[in-house]
Structure formats: structure tokens, C-alpha cells
A = this chain, B = another copy of it.
Amino acid sequence: MKAIPFTDVTINDSFWAPRQATNSKKTIPHEIEQCRTTGRISNFSKAAGTMDGNFEGIFFNDSDVHKLVEAASYTLYTHPNPEWESQLDEVVDTIASSQQPDGYLNSYFTLVEPQKKWQNLGMMHELYCAGHLFEAGVAHYQATGKAKLLDVACKFADLIDNTFGHGKRDGLPGHQGIELALVKLANVTGEKRYMSLAEYFVTTRGQSPHVFEKELENPDLPGGLGAYQHHYTRDGKYEGTYSQAHKPIQEQTECVGHAVRAMYLYAGAADIAAETGDTDIMNALDALWQNVEKRLYVTGGVGPSGHNEGFTQDYELPNFSAYAETCASIGLIFWAHRMFLLKGEARFIDVMETALYNGALSGVSLDGTGFFYQNPLASRGGRHRHEWFGCACCPPNIARLLGSLGQYIYAQSDNDLWVNLYVEGTATTVAENVPLKLTQETDYPWSGNVKITVNPEKPTKFALNLRIPSWCSNYDVKLNGETYSVKDTTNGYLSIEREWKPNDSVNLNLDMPVERIYAHPNVRDNLGRSALQRGPLVYCFEDVDNADGAFETLSLNNDTMETVYDSNLLNGITTIRANAKVYDTAEWENNLYLTKPKSNQMQVTAIPYYAWCNRGAGQMAVWVF
């Protein structure tokens, strides 16, 4: 199974298309400007020797520029803009100019510790930065047809391949990402060596003593020992869970450590499993998926703890202190998408959709220039988006996700087509050697009505597999206007297999009631509480919509909730209006305990979680009583 690439998909709905436009017009220019003013781009010029000065910022800052080139490439394809294209070419030239004769490319090491390359793989992000360079090279080539950065990437990949691997040096990235990047590089170049190197990096884990452990013996470690030991040792003893290096990938069954690292590793491992058919890796990924489903915020956030930016234990999902990094939700989308491609099951897309519409999308403001690094599920007013970060991984990550969104909507196997996400727009592909266009018309996620027009150039037989989302318990289907008798779904898909003729149409109507979601009783913060969800959207309450903001005591009535589309609110959203009891605060002034506390009935309004904090920082709660 493979995704229909973003280059063959258009999006012109009322939900995502405006976000992509904002991504193109606001986010990418804003981020390029941030990369310029923070010295991220000039670091490459300095490394190239075309500019004087010292390295600025954090040692992994190159990766932000690479990720931004990737994002801008996607965006230039979907939203062509000659002015930005030439600016992007300039950035690409600047990056390329810093490549060393042997192919090495990392402005920090070139400028600051040139004699200490590859000596602190555990912490210094050289291979991570390389991975983002590879992804940028591939995206820039796919989007613009220009091979300059791809060539730079391959030259560096060759150096790395000559350096690391079986029979060469032991090594792997302390921060993953290069694995899935090498797979992309292999696929676009046809170069098998890159795939093998990706497999090597995925599978080089759990040795004793481990590469990272041996590095610790170096008293002259680049970057210093401090941060390293904090993450890799416990009680003075080496322990590789932070970067998932504690066990061979085939034996990993629990999501541990830094969440973004974990997501990138599992995504890369899924790529390798798809390529090699390695059942041990597949089984491990199944177990890891089962485990992540016990560690998943209802918004699709993962990694609750700020301490390790990562995982803790099953069901530990605090709301106020939720770390739930934007990058981790994006990484989960990468992993979930690959799990679907590997297994063809809709349950992975269910999680992907949740993360996409909620925990990842909340990472960027509606105006495109504010970013959440952490995505809490409750706030007393102290949280707000920032225009940039010292560690700026999230802003370009959400930009590349939005830019490449098209690739997550459709997939195809040898014979059949899959519709995973309901987004108005088109896809073009070839089924059974017949060129074909799919057209979706829908107001999703505000409505569950979807019309799909199937347009093969000539009649051709294949199965059209429509995902029935896990949140949907009732739906009906019409085929060319006639009621289509729905058979059971298989792996979460309604499959319509027939000879498709030009202009055949399918109308899928997904019931989209407001649901109250309850959490596992072991999720202590949510005991007695529920969250509201409608379709793929998780809702929240903000004080700006609800007079006294007493979310903590708000108790929703069980009567019917009303949905109201408000085109003027937050760029157009469907709100949920509900009746709720809220404590009468007056009588609590002088009472600590009461036997019959008075409550007032009030109407409360919930908005989609992704849209919170776009009207100033305020109180917010997803889970209410």
C-alpha cells in the first residue's frame, strides 16, 4: 500500500484550504524571517566561509532551516509563488555552500568543534540534522524538480553510509529522524544503500555496552557531559530509554523516553518493516501501538511529562501539566500513517485523524504566526502561543505537516483505492492502468456528508474503500443516488468493489452527534469527567465564551446538546451549546463544606480544541464534569 502523494492531490475545502493558504502566506514567511534574524541561516554562510562570525544558537539549529525548506517546498507546489521560490533557492544555495568537500554538512560542528564530529551521537543531533537535510532535499526535488539540495543530501548520506554500519563504525542517532529520511531518499533516488543504512540505524539498539554508553567515557565529549548524563543515566547507571536505545527494536513493547524521538523511530521502523517484511519488527510495532493507546491524550497528544519531554506510564495523562509536544503529535501522525500503509487498517487513521485535527493543529494559531510547543488540556490562563522558540522544532514541523497534508487523504494498493480523510478536493491516480480522478465534496469536519465522484477515463474494476471513522456509529451510503446496501466493514473500511464508470458517485453520510467521551478510570485527572467530541474534533471550554469561567465545577446536563455553526467565530466553527450546572460561588466564600451546595444553570459554549487561545490567553478545559 502506498499513499497518493501530495503532488497528485488538491485540497479546496473550507477547513484545510484556508489553513494551507495561511501556511503559505503567513507561516512560512514568518518562519524564514525568524530563521534569518536568529542567525540560523547565516550559520550556514559562516560555515561556508562567506560570512564572518561565530555560530549562533543551539547546536541543532540547522534542522529548523532544513525542516522549513521542506515545508516551503510543499507549499510552493500547492501555492506557487515565484518571489518565495527565489528566496527559497537562496536558502538552498546557502545550505549547499556549507557542505564540506567530504560531504559533511553541519554548521555547528564545522564552526565550533570541527575536530569532534561523530563523537557525541547520543546528544549532539548530527544525524538528526542530517535526516532533516535529506527530507528537505527530497521535498525540494519533488516540489520544484530542482535536484541541487537532493544532491547535497545524497553526498552527505554517502559519507554517513561510508562511516557507519556493519563492518564500519558503530553508531546511531541520539535523536531519531534520519531513518525515515533515508527511506525517502532511497525511494526518490532508487538507491538501496540508503534503505540499508536506515535499517541499520533502526536496528542498532540494545547493545551492551551501547554506543552512547561508550561515548560517555570520553572526557572531552563535544557539547559536554552535563546534559547527556541527565538523560542517559539513572542512579549513575547508563540507561538508554530516553532515546529508545535500551533494547533491540524487535524487543520494544513499551513507548518510553522522549516522545518525538520515539515517534520518529517507530515511523522509521514501520518503513523498514514495510520494505523488508521483518515480522519481529512488525510484532514490536503492534505491541508499541497497543501501548501508545494507553498513553494517548484524547486530543492525539503523546508524552505527558516535561521532565523527559516524553512518556511516563500507562494512563498517566494529566491535563494542566500535559506536555504533549506539537512535534510528538506530528510524529504520531507519521507513525500512524505508516502503520496504516503497513497493515491497511483504519484504526491507525482514526488516531492519525485525531492528532491531525486536534493535538497537532492546536500547535499553530489561526493567523499562522503563533505556536504551541506544549499542548495542555486545561489552563488557568498562563498558557499562550509564542512567535518562536529558542528550540524551534515545532513551528517548521507544523508548517511541513500542513504543506504536505494531501498525502494523508488517499492511498492505493495494487488494485484498490482508499479514502482515509474526508477533505473537499481531488486526487488523480491510475487504477488498473486507467487514469482516474476522484473528487470529494464535503463540509467535513462540520458535517459528515461526503460526495465522492469517481472519474476513470474508461470503465474499470476496483474496490473503493471508504473509511468509517471509529467515532461514527451510524452512516448510510448512496451509489449513484440509490441506497447502497452496506455490508460489514472490513478493517474499518466500507469497500465498494465494482466496475466504476465515469461520473459514478458515492454519497456517504456519517452521523456526527455530539459525544461525551469518558476516560479509563486509571486516568486520575479525568475521573468523573467527560470530554465533548463531534466527528474528529475534540472540544474545549474557554472562559471568553463562558461568563464566569468556572470550568472546574462546571457540570454538564445530560440533555441534548445543540450545535451552532458560527461563521464569524474563529474563522468559522461549529460550536456546541450545552446546559450546565455551575456552583453558586457566593455561598462558598465562607464555607469549606456544604451539604446542599446551590448551583446555577447556565448555557455554556464549547469550541474545537484546535482553536483555543486565539482570543488571548485564558482559562481552558477539555475535561469537565
Q: Is A524 an interface position by the 8 A CB rule?
A: yes
Knowing A527-B625, A588-B520, A625-B527, the reply to whether A593 touches B553 (Cβ < 8 A) is no
With known contacts A528-B555, A552-B524, A518–B595 Cβ distance under 8 A = yes
Task: Select which of B298, B521, B585 is within 8 A of A553 by beta carbon.
Answer: B521
Are B293 and A588 in contact, with the CB atoms below 8 A? no
Looking at chain A's contact residues, is the secondary structure mostly helix, strand, loop, or mixed? loop
Find out whether the CB atom of B593 lies under 8 angstroms from the CB atom of A518: yes
Nearest B residue to A588, CB-CB:
B520
Scan residues 505-551 of chain A and give those whose CB is less than 8 A from a CB of chain B.
Answer: 515-521, 523-524, 527-529, 533, 550
Taken together as a complex, chains A and B put the C-alpha atoms of A60 and B315 apart, in Å, by 45
Q: Tell whether, in the assembled complex, residue A592 and residue B552 are in contact, meaning their CB atoms are under 8 Å apart.
A: no
Q: State whether A519 touches B552 (Cβ < 8 A).
A: no
**Is A296 positioned at the interface, with any CB of B under 8 Å from its CB?**
yes
B521 touches A592 (CB 8 A): no
Question: What are 9 A-B residue pairs whose CB atoms fall within 8 Å in the complex?
Answer: A294-B592, A296-B592, A515-B595, A517-B593, A518-B594, A519-B592, A520-B593, A521-B550, A527-B553
Give A473's nearest chain B residue, CB to CB: B595
Q: How far is the CA of A120 from the CA of B472 in the complex (A)?
A: 71
Nearest residue (CB) in B for A290 is: B590
Indicate the member of A296, A550, A588, A593 with the most B CB atoms within 10 Å.
A593
Chain A: interface size category? 20 to 34
Contacts of A553 on B, CB cut-off 8 Å? 521, 527
How would residues 321 to 365 of chain A score, 1 for a CB under 8 Å from any chain B CB and 0 otherwise? Answer: 000000000000000000000000000000000000000000000
- Judge whether A37 is part of the interface by a CB distance below 8 angstroms: no
Docked Cα-Cα span, A521 to B517, in Å, equals 23
Contacts of A593 in B (CB 8 A): 298, 517-520
- Which residues A213-235 have CB closer than 8 A to chain B? none
Restricting to A296-318, which residues have a CB under 8 Å from any CB of B? 296, 298, 315
CB distance from A318 to the nearest CB of B (A): 12
Q: How far is the CA of A395 from the CA of B593 in the complex (A)?
A: 29
Q: Which residue of B lies closest to A595 (CB)?
A: B515
Residues of the B chain whose Cβ atoms lie less than 8 Å from the Cβ of A555: 528
- The residues of B that contact A519 with a CB separation of less than 8 Å are 592-593
| Interchain CB contact under 8 A, A594 and B517 | yes
Closest chain B CB from A557 CB (angstroms): 15
* Cβ B527 vs Cβ A595 within 8 A: no
Q: Cα distance A592–B517 when bound, in Å?
A: 10
Cross-chain contact of A595 among B516, B524, B588, B592 (Cβ < 8 A): B516
Minimum CB–CB distance from A285 to chain B (whole Å) comes to 17
C-beta contact mask, A577-614 vs B, less than 8 Å → 1, else 0? 00000010100100111110100000000000000000
Q: Mark A272-309, 1 if CB is under 8 A from B, else 0.
A: 00000000000000000000011010100000000000
Tell which of A298, A315, A518, A553 has the most Cβ of chain B within 10 Å. A518
Q: Oligomeric state, in number of copies? A: 2
Task: Collect the chain B residues with CB atoms within 8 Å of residue A517's CB.
Answer: 593-595
Assess A521 versus B552: contact at CB under 8 Å? Given A529-B528, A625-B527, A625-B528. yes
Contacts of A585 in B (CB 8 A): 521
- Complex Cα distance, B523 from A583, in Å, reads 13
- Measured in the bound complex, the distance between the Cα atoms of B589 and A520 in whole Å is 9
**In whole Å, how far is A578's beta carbon from the nearest beta carbon of chain B?**
16
A588 to B522, CA, bound (A): 10
The list of the 10 closest CB pairs from A to B, nearest first, reads A528-B528, A521-B553, A515-B595, A528-B625, A518-B597, A517-B593, A520-B592, A520-B588, A518-B594, A521-B583
Q: How far is the CA of A239 from the CA of B583 in the complex (A)?
A: 38
Which residues on the B side are within 8 Å of A550 (C-beta)?
Answer: 521
CA A528 to CA B527, docked complex, whole Å: 9
Of all chain B residues, the one with the shortest Cβ separation from A521 is: B553
CB neighbours of A523 from chain B (8 A): 592
A293 to B585, CA, bound (A): 17
Shortest distance from the beta carbon of A366 to any chain B beta carbon, whole Å: 27
Q: For the complex, what is the distance from the CA of A583 to the CA of B519, rounded to whole Å?
A: 11
Distance in angstroms between the alpha carbons of A529 and B555 in the assembled complex: 12
Q: How far is the CB of A498 from chain B (nearest CB, A)?
A: 33
Q: How far is the CA of A293 from the CA of B591 in the complex (A)?
A: 8
Contact A293:B521 (CB < 8 A) given known A527-B625, A528-B555, A625-B528: no
Q: Which residues of B contact A296 (CB under 8 A)?
A: 592
CB A54 to nearest CB in B, in angstroms, measures: 36
Known: A518-B593, A521-B550. 18 other contacts (CB 8 A): A293-B592, A296-B592, A517-B594, A518-B594, A518-B597, A519-B593, A520-B588, A520-B593, A521-B553, A521-B583, A521-B585, A527-B528, A527-B552, A527-B553, A527-B625, A528-B528, A528-B555, A533-B595
Nearest CB in chain B: distance from A473 CB, A: 8
The residue of chain B having its C-beta at the shortest distance from the C-beta of A315 within the complex is B592
How long is the Cα–Cα vector from A87 to B595 in the complex, in angstroms? 49
Closest CB-CB distance, A334 to chain B, in whole Å? 21
Name the B residues within 8 Å of A594 (CB-CB): 517-518
Per-residue 0/1 for A419-434: is the Cβ within 8 Å of any B Cβ (1 yes, 0 no)? 0000000000000000
A315, A527, A585, most chain B CB atoms within 10 A: A527
